[in-house]
Amino acid sequence: MNRIKAILKDQGRTQKWLAFKLKKSYVNVSNYCNNKVQPPLDVLNDIAKILDVDIRELLNPTKR
């Protein structure tokens, strides 16, 4: 599952809410949450701030 989508679900928030907070269209946020488009790093940083999580929580580790 996409990390942004999972954190939104855990916090009881919606993609529409995140789109409003980011000042982006719902379609953009939906694409981020459904792995159709990867958000640029500056947007990923904004998402982390809005969701009050460390940016690393939004990324899947490449090494264990």
Q: What is the DSSP string of 2-59?
A: -HHHHHHHHHT--HHHHHHHHT--HHHHHHHHTTSSPPPHHHHHHHHHHHTS-GGGGS
Q: What is the pLDDT of residues 8-46, one digit of tens each?
A: 999 999 999 999 999 999 999 999 999 999 999 999 999
> Could you give the number of structural domains in the chain?
1
In a domain? residue 54: yes
- The answer to pTM > 0.85 is yes
In a domain, residue 28? The reply is: yes
> Is there a domain that residue 63 lies in?
no
| Within a domain: 24 | yes
Name the residue range of residue 43's domain: 3-58
Q: 61: pLDDT confidence band, cut at 50, 70 and 90?
A: confident
Domain at 27, CATH number: 1.10.260.40
